Chains A and B, each alone.
Chain A
């Protein structure tokens, strides 16, 4: 099925470093959502973006909805060990069903 292009695929960083990941698509989206998933669990919503250009923060996390509506990025500042996990972007296209199209995920590992 259709998926978003998410990069990088994985990251291994030192505790305290900042992290950036992004998601791109050839199609326009009207909503971008960022989720974190731990092994064996469901995705947990981190940030939701509803308007092109929107920049939203949630604690150490900041995400932006790209102006072209075809991309989004997520930044994590001052990473800590509990940031370890898989981060997924998800987008919704025009229409009222709300079905989400997901990226393939970015696996983040943090070295204490």
Chain B
């Protein structure tokens, strides 16, 4: 059983550019979460999908951020007009509907905005 995968693992971009990250959850996991982690801190919740429905968004998710999960499988997180404060590790996690309380994380995408 393969784990959660994320692509790319690293992204360097200039301020003002748009970036998109992809997450592939564990097969048959219908719950998918995005978190953001800054240096020296624990991950912070951004948003949650159950199948293709986005059911909760954090206040951290400004209008420059958009997440999708069009077919209930992989998900994308897009950041428009990136700012230096967006530099962080973006983590994806997935879980089953039954056993939803146990989340498994991917390796993350490290974003650096210059």
Q: How many A-B residue pairs have CB under 8 A?
A: 74
Known: A88-B42, A97-B48. A1 touches B103 (CB 8 A): no
Q: State the Cβ distance, B39 to closest chain A Cβ, in Å.
A: 11
Q: Is A42 within 8 A of B95, CB to CB?
A: no
The distance in angstroms between the C-alpha atoms of A1 and B58, with both chains bound, is 9
A105 contacts which chain B residues (CB < 8 A)? Answer: 40-42
Q: Is B105 within 8 A of A44, CB to CB?
A: yes
Q: Which of A71-107 contact B (CB under 8 A)?
A: 88, 90, 92, 96-105
Known: A97-B55, A98-B95. 12 other contacts (CB 8 A): A1-B58, A30-B101, A31-B101, A45-B102, A48-B102, A92-B101, A96-B100, A97-B48, A98-B31, A101-B45, A103-B42, A104-B41
Residues of B within 8 A of A (CB): 4, 6, 31, 33, 35, 40-45, 48, 55-56, 58, 60, 91, 93, 95, 100-108, 110
